[in-house]
Amino acid sequence: MHLRELDLPHRYIQKLENAGYTTLYPPQEQAIRAGLFEDRSMVLAIPTASGKTLIALFAVVKALQKNQKAVYIVPLKALAEEKYQDMKELGINVALTTGDYDSANTCLKHYDVVVTTSEKCDSLLRHDVAFFNEVHLVVADEVHLLDDPGRGPTLEMILSKMKGKRILALSATISNARELAQWLDAELVASEWRPVPLRKGVFHEDTIVFEDGSEEVTSHGDPCVTLAVDSLKAGQVLFFVNTRKSTQAVACRVARSLRNMISCEPLHFSDSVYQTTLRECSLHGVSFHHAGLKRQDRILIEEAFKANNLKVLVATPTLAAGINLPARRVVVRDVKRFYQNLGYYFIPTLEIQQMMGRAGRPRYDSEGEAILVAKNEEDVDQLFGRYIYAEPERISSKLASQPALRTHLLALLASDYVKTAEELKTFFSRTLYVYQNGEEYVYDTLNQARDYLERHELIHEFEATPFGKRVSQLYIDPASAVVLRQALHANMMPFGILQAISACPDMPGLYLRRGDFSEYDLLAEEHKESFLLPIPDTWEEPERYEIFLSQVKTASLLTSWVEEVDEKDICTHFSVGPGDVYRMRETTTWLLYSFGEIARLFFYSQADIRKLRVRLKYGIKEELLPLVRIKNIGRVRARSLFDHGFETLQDLKKAPVSELENIVGEGIARSIHDQLTGNVN
């Protein structure tokens, strides 16, 4: 079927053709025949790169043709930005919103389409249960993430609330897609078709055993080096390994092996602990990718790989669930993952198949190759059985966990979405959890969550207290709010505040490594007068004390940042990446804001919390606080001005512009002068 045959406005057809779309893939035709252009809900379970995004765009455009609004929900900010750009290029009146959970964002109602993450969508509904009343179409991308313990419950709650609207749920191939369709009262469109045929196989020693036969390759010792060199004959290769350290190690080994084969212009990476290694690898067409890298470096790597300026990319599995980044060949080296307190276990089949599905670039490759790496001969048959021939796991609700239930139950009560036991029962009857398990299993766990919320004065019977309402709006775990309320004190010192923040379940903390105990035990002793929470006894509660020391370690990292320690030194000392430091700062900033709001609610001073929040934003000592109030003055410029004797705004106001120019440059000096003298356009 040709694009022009579709009953869609010509201006959209033309823009899609300009973007390279002309004819439809079979799954896209299948979706149209199943009622895509009608008001039917639909679950699409089709392989990666088989055209799910275009199907969703068709549905959005058709809704707009009928003057209906839409919301497009994705799991990740990077995906949200990608979908937003897709729609913006079509000329759609679209808004992107992914952050600031303490805002109703009423301006979004002026847009025809809102692209957002599950968490932000949930936040909007907490502030106003009627926020999406005018929305007719709900697109839920990557809906198989209902199975994810972290993101799944939030997505499930949103879809349960949105029932009655038209839902278009997009998924990879899953074994119980029909069950999800029945839960959503939707048509099922399932297909195994791919635009690029996929050969799957297992590599061992010098042979790739494919489903349709074996191929020998020239061995270079290391399996990844062997497969990288072999891949270059046909196209790019994407490796998946389990740890960040492995991404770097494998990329370096491959780059060394390609030294005499590939010579490229180096990519220009930002200043970080990874800069030198990334640059040296890029000289030979190789790079690595993981969440510890700075965001601008991750984007640079992704764009270079898309443009074929990188031939080999080594990544952690998080990339498989991210943006569209296919390769001619995908190699999955590691099929086991380390789980804290459990040890090494096989990665779920669905995840591995998601990684394998990245193989084959539409419009570039006649076929893709997905290869698993066996450690010994016995593993070959096992990998075929577990991952190549096996069905992906059944998607099951993760809503019944106590952290998820207490969070979402509070949201339901705080927003007045439910007001009685009967209404609560009616709402949960719409969830996937009850659909899969029956009603009798959910209410015991619900009552446990209710008891927790009532015990900590977040709710009273079926009504949220002022504390509970504010916590729900702040979009933090009720358990974090309980910690922060317990930490309220008349005299708050920075290290104590940061330790309390680090004790919150919402905070991504650091683990104690071998040899850390004595260092942070000593640090805890030094700061014991500043702690706002009780210190566990090291002898009577050794496990809790070790958790406490891990919180002290996290607080120590954050303290290093506000004490102006160089980011590279922080990364080296704490064995983290700049991306980790950024995420910890972002989460801490939000928890500090929440701490301030809870302090205000209970009539405590917010001054120390607010001051620390500004210091954390800029990474500065307290003495620089007056200087960063000036626009375009951050961590480095403020320190430079201070060290040259300009300690206050008054000092700067009296200074000749020429003197400031020698420190911060002509443009910034003139800007400082204009701001302080009121000469601002």
- Local confidence band at 19 (pLDDT 50, 70, 90 cut-offs): confident
List phi, psi (to 5°) of 136: -105, -35
Asked if residue 273 and residue 146 are part of one domain, the reply reads no
Asked if residue 179 and residue 253 are part of one domain, the reply reads no
Beta bridge partners of 21: none
Total domains in the chain come to: 4
Asked if residue 424 and residue 337 are part of one domain, the reply reads no
Q: What is the mean pLDDT of residues 397-412?
A: 94
**Structure confidence at residue 338 (pLDDT):** 82
Asked if residue 341 and residue 210 are part of one domain, the reply reads yes
Q: Pairing between strand 463-464 and 343-346?
A: unpaired
**Structure confidence at residue 130 (pLDDT):** 86
Asked if residue 87 and residue 175 are part of one domain, the reply reads yes
pLDDT at 157 over 70: yes
Q: What is the pLDDT of residues 657-668, one digit of tens each?
A: 999 999 999 999
Asked if residue 90 and residue 11 are part of one domain, the reply reads yes
The C-alpha atoms of residue 493 and residue 531 are separated, in whole angstroms, by 8
Asked if residue 443 and residue 468 are part of one domain, the reply reads yes
Domain range for 161 is 3-190
Boundary (domain end) residue, out of 475, 503, 518: 475
**Structure confidence at residue 679 (pLDDT):** 66
Residue 562 lies in a domain: no
pLDDT at 323 over 80: no
**Structure confidence at residue 141 (pLDDT):** 94
- Local confidence band at 128 (pLDDT 50, 70, 90 cut-offs): confident
| Most confidently predicted of 76-90, 317-331, 430-444, 579-593 | 579-593
Which CATH number is 654's domain given? 1.10.150.20
Residue 575 lies in a domain: no
The DSSP line for 648-668 is SHHHHHHS-HHHHHHHH-HHH
The C-alpha atoms of residue 459 and residue 198 are separated, in whole angstroms, by 54
Asked if residue 409 and residue 375 are part of one domain, the reply reads no
The C-alpha atoms of residue 593 and residue 171 are separated, in whole angstroms, by 36
Asked if residue 117 and residue 22 are part of one domain, the reply reads yes
- Local confidence band at 537 (pLDDT 50, 70, 90 cut-offs): very high
Q: What is the mean pLDDT of residues 250-279?
A: 94
Residue 208 lies in a domain: yes
Looking at the chain, the whole-number percentage of residues with pLDDT higher than 70 is: 99
Residue 76 lies in a domain: yes
Which CATH number is 417's domain given? 1.10.10.10
How many angstroms separate the Cα of 605 from the Cα of each of 321, 489, 608, 611, 625? 43, 9, 8, 11, 19
Boundary (domain end) residue, out of 388, 410, 445: 388
Q: What is the pLDDT of residues 200-256, one digit of tens each?
A: 999 998 999 999 888 999 989 899 999 999 998 888 999 999 999 999 999 999 999
> Nearest to residue 272, comparing CAs of 234, 241, 309, 298?
298
pLDDT at 415 over 70: yes
Asked if residue 296 and residue 409 are part of one domain, the reply reads no
pLDDT at 322 over 70: no
Residue 108 lies in a domain: yes
| Most confidently predicted of 20-34, 103-117, 599-613 | 599-613
Range of weakest confidence among 17-26, 190-199, 338-347, 430-439: 338-347
Q: What is the pLDDT of residues 457-505, one digit of tens each?
A: 999 999 999 999 999 999 999 999 999 999 999 889 999 999 999 999 9
Residue 508 lies in a domain: no
The C-alpha atoms of residue 382 and residue 379 are separated, in whole angstroms, by 5
pLDDT at 570 over 60: yes
pLDDT at 681 over 60: no
Which CATH number is 38's domain given? 3.40.50.300
pLDDT at 456 over 90: yes
Q: What is the DSSP letter of 112?
A: S
Q: Which two tokens stand for residue 121?
A: 């969508």
What pTM was computed for the model? 0.92
Residue 256 lies in a domain: yes
> Nearest to residue 237, comparing CAs of 129, 362, 332?
332
Q: How many CA atoms lie within 13 A of 312 on its CB side?
A: 36
Per the CB < 8 A criterion, the answer to whether 318 and 361 are in contact is no
Asked if residue 416 and residue 338 are part of one domain, the reply reads no
Higher local confidence (pLDDT), 189 or 102: 189
Boundary (domain end) residue, out of 190, 223, 248: 190
Residue 668 lies in a domain: yes
Asked if residue 154 and residue 124 are part of one domain, the reply reads yes
